[in-house]
Each structure stands twice: as structure tokens, then as C-alpha cells.
Structure 1
Amino acid sequence: MGTDIIELGRDWVTRHRARLSDLLLAGAAGALALQSEWQAGPGRTAAVLAVSVAAILVRRRWPVPALLAVTAAALLTVVLETPSGALLLVLGALMYSTALHTSHRRPWLYALSVSGILFLAGLLVDFDHWWAASSIGLFAWICGGGALGDAVRNRRAYIAEVTERALQAERTREDEARRRVMDERLRIARELHDVVAHHIAVINVQAGAAGHVIARHPEQAGPVLEVIREASDTVLREIKSVISVLREPGETDSTEPSPGLDRVPDLIRNFAATGFRIELRSDGEPRPLPAIADLAAYRIVQESLTNAHRYGRGAAEVTIAWTARAVTIEVLNDIGAARPGRPTGSGFGLLGMRERAAAAHGTVVAGPAPGGRFRVHVTLPATEPAGPPQHDAAADITAEGDQRS
């Protein structure tokens, strides 16, 4: 219990520290006034005591009025040729408070003005007494109080600014960490969608074909089931490679390269195994692409062919054109006729295309084309771009709902 009382006492002192310091300083000023002014009579003693104590108590709230009041009282004692030592000492404390608690950028003006007024008044009243080396102490005391208050104020302002910058930097780091987490989540979600949507679409088509074949020609079901098995194995491997970024530190990094345009022929062969006809054309001399552009190109082709397989009429055309500065990819397929029970896409596949192209400083345009066809047109830079990716209105995707995923 004694410890609790001590802690409560400490808390109370901490909360009222400023007020307690004012009371102690006011008591010291009052005692000084009594000691130095007692010989001058009770009237003057009471006046000096009242002015000194009142100025000390209100110096935080009204620093300039308190300084002016004590300066006026001290000036009166100088004019009466009985300068009050107590008031002159209080002026130093008040000058400290004025420099500390006001927003004036030049507190030395207050110090020079107060000390200069008192010194000039003293010279006019008693030149021999005030024109002496001892008068330098008045300047030193008043100006020293102002300098100390200004130094403390600047120190507090510096600490406050450093603290604010540290807090701002911490908030910025937290915002950056959250942004990176969101970007990583978006990347993983996009990768999973591209990988899973393609292979599950293949499995779905082949499973439907398997049911038909088993019912009428059981002996022909083997190749269809083999395609389903290979597609499921592939999707499991690709999902494992995507989520490998979540592995614990110290685990062995995967050495399998990210897919790129060089794997498009393998992708087309996988589709061909399901009966989906794809014509691949290449124009120009293939060249290495930046990693992010190469991966984006492969995933966009994969997503486009998956959509064509699910919603088209059994065939598609892929054209890859190479130039010195860019690679252009175009995927065309006939739009399939609407039928009851036909699945409708969420649009995330087309959104993923736009995001991938934008991340690689490229553009995507997707939508219906003349002749009842659906067209995906992609342009990606063939060199490393400078600066962060910028959103371009041309990268927006236009789709009328005929073919979405």
C-alpha cells in the first residue's frame, strides 16, 4: 500500500509540476521582496511583493503583460532613485518566460528594450551611479534570461519536429508495408486465377467429354482421362510455384524459370490435346523480353485462349509480331452462341490482363471485333522501361459481356 501511495504521489507531482514550480518561484520572489524591501516601509514592500508574486503566477498564460507590468514597476523605482533589486531579479525570470512561451522570433528585442529603458532612466536620474561597470550585470541578467528561454524554446521545437518526422516516417513505413502486402496479394490472386482458370477449364471440358464417351464408347475414354490427369498435374505444379513465395525463410528457392512466350507452343499443344484448334503465327525475329513483360505476355495469351476455349466455337488464332521496341500479340476467336446453362465470367481475367500489361508498361484492348469475333490486342515493350508504370486509358479493356473471365 505504501508503494501505491508513492506512485500516486509521483503521478500527482508529474501532472502538476508546472503549477508547483510556479508556486515555488513565487514563494522565492516573495521572500526576496520581503528581505530587500523591508527597510523601505510596509507599503512599498507590499506593492513589490504583490507585483512580483502575481507576475510569476501568470507568466505562463500572459508572459508579455506580466513582463510589462514588472518593467513599469521597476522603472518607477528607478525614477524614484530607489531601484528595487527584487523586481530587477524577477525581470530575468519573466524574460525567460516571455522568450519561452511566445511565438516571437526575436525575443532579444524584448530583452534589449527592457534593459535599455531601465538603463536610460537610471542615467537620467543618477548618471554617476548607473554609468558604472556594475550596470552591465543588469544587461547580462535580463538578456541572459531571454537567451536561455529562446534556447529552450528552440530545443523543444527541434525535439517536437524530430518526433513528428519520426512518427511520419513510421506511418509512411506502415503504409508502404500495407501497400506491398496488398500488391503481393493481388499478384498471387492474379497468378492463381490465370493458372487455375486455364487448367480447370480444360478439365471441365474434358470431364464433360469423358462422360459422353464413357456412356457410348467406353473404350475411347482412356485418352480423355489422360488429358484430365495431365491438366490436373500441371495445375498442381503451377499452384505450388505461385505460392512458393509464402515459404518459410531458409527454404530452397525454386529454380524453375517463370513462363514466357517461348512456352506458348507448349500451351497450344495442351489445348490441341483437348480438341481446341489454335493457329499460331509469328512475324519478325523473336528476342528476349524483360522478365515482367515476358511473364505478362504468356499469362495474357493463356487467359485469352482459356476464354476462347470456354466461350468460343472451337478455334482461335494467335499472332505474335516482333519489332525492335515492342512485341504485339493478337488473339482472335469466334464468339460462341449463347445457350442455357452456359457459365458467365466474373471479368477478373480481363482485369488481370490490364493489370499485367500496365505493370509491364504495356497496353491491352479486348472486345468484340467485326465478323462476330472476339479480339485481344496486346502491346508490350521489348526493352526495360524507365520509371514506374503509368496507367494509360488505352490499357482499359472494353468488353460487352460476350466473352468474360
Structure 2
Amino acid sequence: MVLTSPARRRRLSVRETDLAVALVVSAVVAVWTLLQMRSGDEPPGRALIGWGLIALGCGALYFRRRRPVAVGVITLLTSCVYYPVSVTDGPLMTTFAVALYTLAAEGRFTASVALASATLLAVGYGELRQDSGHRQIDDTSLVMLTGWLISLVAVGRAQRTRAAYLHEAEQRALAAEREQEARARQSATEERLRIARELHDVLGHSISLINVQSSAVLHRLGKKPEPPVALAAAEEALEAVKATSKEALRELRGTLGVLRQADEAAPTAPTSGLDRLGELVERARSTGIAVGVRTEGGGRPLPPPVDLAAYRIVQESLTNVTRHSGALSALVTIIHGATDIRVRIEDDGRGADTGTGTGHAANARQGPRTGPRTEPGTGPTDSGIRGMAERAKAFGGELTARNTPGGFRVEARLPLAPPTTGPPAASSPDTGPPQALTD
């Protein structure tokens, strides 16, 4: 089966329409001419020439939209020859009228005006050469012919303008529809990325803590301690796993709440924020890392989105500390400014490894805990830090992650209001170039 494109079907439709118009005009001209021939006596030679001109003029209308100028000239010339030669004045001029209208409707306005003017000049010149009392067209008929030709050009021009307007309106509608679809796709993509980032932060943090806690108790049980000691260690680990998994489920329900149906109740669990920082730090301490908290400034509530972003950055940073750093201690610093909030997480573990292919400067701390901070493709320089950087960028802020002489530092700045143009803030002095993660 052969499939034709819409453009091909449209071209066939145009040709069929032109053929129909040519056949209708031919039938009208032929019938009208036959009726007039019954009342007159025309020599066979002139009749043959007249019918030949009728066939030429009517047949040319089939090509009226593909060759509008040529068809207009041909129909005008056939009419100019037909009326002086033929005794029977049939309505062959109709072919020129159709061709003149088509010429204007196809956008050939100058050519249509030129042919109409040439027609009037030719008729006027022919009437001037006639002897007095033998004119074929009187003044009234000449005025009517002028108005007739002007009307054909004007109507064709109006049709052209209308077609152009409809085409432009259709194109605008299509462009608006495409833009709406693009915006819908972009909104859906952004929403998917936001949900993915939330799930990564929630599940990544909690599962990492569960993994560290389980590994620690398995390590202790592997040393074959006394049953009471083993039972106490297992109980402590299970309590920590229970608390961590409960918190993970709470966070997960809150995140998935954005997917609820319109008639479902909104989640009633409190939204995560810096007011829950103590619980987050306690969970990190349960892995054996001494985590401290220091707060500077404050005194006013944060916008909920900024509060959540700051909490997630601390959460992901502590996840990286427990999973990759081998640190013994970490410090979380929250600095409330007049126009922004700064979050800094420092640890005394191993620095970032340049072997991960992430482009970090490797200023790893020298000491007994040697070796890379991360494993390829799993460290804080991959999706975790990228997610934190995206959170900061969404609020017009920035995030940097760098090695320090004593370990590793993640620092983020989150404006409390939309960003304004101004000089960049000076970075704090440190060893090694920072990696700006704002993209």
C-alpha cells in the first residue's frame, strides 16, 4: 500500500479543483455559444477558429494557479482575437475574468493590475478607431467594464489577504501549541528531577546510616565477644536501624505526597528543616562519628524552601562523611546572615581523590588515615554534590567542595530573596583551589 503525504494530498486536491473550475467554465461558455449560434449564421471557418479559441481559453484555466500570469495573458489574447473574428459573441471573456481573479488571489497584484489596465486601454483604443455610430461598447458599458475589472482585482486581493491572515493565525496557533507542549515537558522534567533529588537525599542518607550501623555491629560480632556484650551490641544497632528507617519512611511519605491525587489529604508530618538538625546529627553520631553543631546569628524564621534546602545539604554532606571519609569528627556550622544563610560542613577525614575523574584538587590530609576518600563513581563528587549544587543554584546561591589541610569541607550559600546583581562575595582563604559546583 502506498501512503501519500499530506502535502501530496493537498496538491492533488488543488489540481482537482482547477480541473473542476475549467470544466464548469467550459460547459457554460459552450452552452451559451451554442444557444447564440442558433439565432445567427456563422461561416464554418470562423466558427472553427472560434471553437478553437474557446478550447484554448477554457483549457488554460486548468493551470490557473500554477501559472497564473501565463494563463491571464493567454485568456486575454484569446478574447482579443475571438471577438473580432467570431460572428457569435459568446461569453469567452469569462475565462479572462476567472484568470484575473486568480492572478490577484495568488498574490500577483501588479500583474493583475497591469492586465486589467491593458484590457481597458485595448477596448478604449478599439472604440476610438470605430466610425461614428458604429461603436460596439457605449460609455456606460465601458464604465461598467472598468468597475467589473476593478472588482475582480479587489476581490482577489481580499481573498489573498484573508488566506494570508488565516495561514498566520494557524501558524501562531501551532507555535502556541508547541510552546505549551514544550513548557509542559519542561515542567514535568523539572518535577521528576526534583522528586529524584528528594528521594536520593532521603533514601541515600538513611540507607547509608543503616549500612554503617550494620557493618559496625557485624564487625564487633565478628570478634566473638561474650554473649551479653554481643546481645547489647546487636540491640543497640537494631535500635539505631529502627530509628533511622522510621525517619526514612517519614521523609519518604512527605516526598511522595506531591504525587497524591487531588482528593487525598495532604501529609500531616512536619516538613524537614534546620529545626530538625538535632535529630539528623544524632543519627550521624550513632555511626561513631563525633558531630558538632555551631550556630551563628539567627532569630528569624527561614523561608520553608530555603530551610529545606539547607537541611538537605547538611543531610547529604553528613551522608558522605559517614560513607566515604573515614573521619572521626565533623562540624556543622550554620551562619544566619541578613540576606542569606551559609551552611558549612567540615570533617577530619580523607580528602577527595583525583582518580575519580571528577577534576578535584587532591590536597588530602597526610596522616595515619591514608588512601582515597572516594571510590570511583560513588563519592561525594558525583550525584550527591551535584544534587546539593543544584539546590543552591535553584535559589541563586552557590556551593563549593574542597580538600582542606585537615580533611574536607562543603560550604553553601543560600540567599533568602531572589538574587540581585552585585560583586561576588570573597571566598575564605584555604589551601588548594575550590571546586565551584554551581552547575
Q: TM-score range by the shorter chain?
A: 0.7 to 0.9
2:230 to 218, 230, 235: 218
Task: Give 1:59 deviation, angstroms.
Answer: 1.7
2:409 to 371, 375, 383: 375
Deviations 1:7-64 (A, max 9, x none): xxxxx99983442332222332344455557755325423431332233232222111
Looking at structure 1, the residues matched to 386 and 374 of structure 2 have their Cα atoms a distance apart, in angstroms, of 21
Deviations 1:181-209 (A, max 9, x none): 21111111111110111111111111122
Query: What are the equivalent positions in structure 2 for 1:168-183 lying under 5 Å apart?
Result: 168-183=175-190
Task: Give 1:227 deviation, angstroms.
Answer: 0.9
> Which stretch shifts more, 19-28 or 312-321?
19-28
Tell me what 1:206 maps to.
213
Structure 2: give runs of 5+ residues left out of the alignment.
Answer: 1-11, 351-368, 422-433
| Structure 2 residue 128 is matched with structure 1 residue 141 | no
| Structure 2 residue 329 is matched with structure 1 residue 326 | no
Query: What are the equivalent positions in structure 2 for 1:3-402 lying under 5 Å apart?
Result: 16-35=16-35, 41-76=46-81, 86-101=91-106, 103-104=107-108, 109-110=113-114, 112-126=116-130, 129=135, 130=137, 132-214=139-221, 215-216=224-225, 217-221=229-233, 222-312=235-325, 313-336=327-350, 337=369, 344=376, 345=378, 347-369=382-404, 371-385=405-419, 396-397=436-437
> Which stretch shifts more, 349-358 or 109-118?
109-118
Structure 2 CA distance for partners of 1:79 and 1:319, relative to 1, 3 Å: same
CA contact (8 A) 1:99 1:153 kept: yes
CA contact (8 A) 1:259 1:298 kept: yes
Deviations 1:330-365 (A, max 9, x none): 111123346699855161101101111111111011
CA contact (8 A) 1:111 1:146 kept: no
CA contact (8 A) 1:290 1:383 kept: no
CA contact (8 A) 1:33 1:86 kept: yes
Structure 2 CA distance for partners of 1:293 and 1:123, relative to 1, 3 Å: farther
Looking at structure 2, the residues matched to 368 and 25 of structure 1 have their Cα atoms a distance apart, in angstroms, of 88
Percent identity (aligned):
32
Task: Give 1:326 deviation, angstroms.
Answer: 1.4
Question: Helix, strand or coil: the match of 1:331?
Answer: strand
Question: Helix, strand or coil: the match of 2:198?
Answer: helix
> Which stretch shifts more, 163-172 or 13-22?
13-22
Task: Give 1:156 deviation, angstroms.
Answer: 2.6
Question: Helix, strand or coil: the match of 1:201?
Answer: helix
Question: Helix, strand or coil: the match of 2:208?
Answer: helix
Deviations 1:249-291 (A, max 9, x none): 2000123343222222331122223332122222223433333
CA contact (8 A) 2:57 2:78 kept: no
Task: Give 1:307 deviation, angstroms.
Answer: 0.6
Looking at structure 2, the residues matched to 246 and 148 of structure 1 have their Cα atoms a distance apart, in angstroms, of 58
> Which stretch shifts more, 275-284 or 23-32?
23-32
Task: Give 1:170 deviation, angstroms.
Answer: 2.1
Structure 1: give runs of 5+ residues left out of the alignment.
Answer: 1-11, 388-393, 399-405
CA contact (8 A) 2:103 2:109 kept: no
- Return the letter of the residue paired with 2:96: L
Question: Helix, strand or coil: the match of 1:335?
Answer: coil
RMSD: 3.3
Question: Helix, strand or coil: the match of 2:295?
Answer: strand
Looking at structure 2, the residues matched to 293 and 89 of structure 1 have their Cα atoms a distance apart, in angstroms, of 77
Task: Give 1:235 deviation, angstroms.
Answer: 0.7
TM-score, length basis structure 2: 0.76
* Larger relative helix fraction: 1
TM-score, length basis structure 1: 0.82
Question: Helix, strand or coil: the match of 1:16?
Answer: helix
Looking at structure 2, the residues matched to 74 and 395 of structure 1 have their Cα atoms a distance apart, in angstroms, of 84
Looking at structure 2, the residues matched to 15 and 396 of structure 1 have their Cα atoms a distance apart, in angstroms, of 64
Task: Give 1:243 deviation, angstroms.
Answer: 1.3
Task: Give 1:65 deviation, angstroms.
Answer: 1.2
- Return the letter of the residue paired with 1:58: F
Looking at structure 1, the residues matched to 211 and 384 of structure 2 have their Cα atoms a distance apart, in angstroms, of 17
Stretches (4+) displaced over 6 A: 12-15, 77-83, 339-342
Deviations 1:295-323 (A, max 9, x none): 21111111111111222212111222222
Looking at structure 2, the residues matched to 357 and 46 of structure 1 have their Cα atoms a distance apart, in angstroms, of 85
> Which stretch shifts more, 216-225 or 298-307?
216-225
Looking at structure 1, the residues matched to 182 and 206 of structure 2 have their Cα atoms a distance apart, in angstroms, of 36
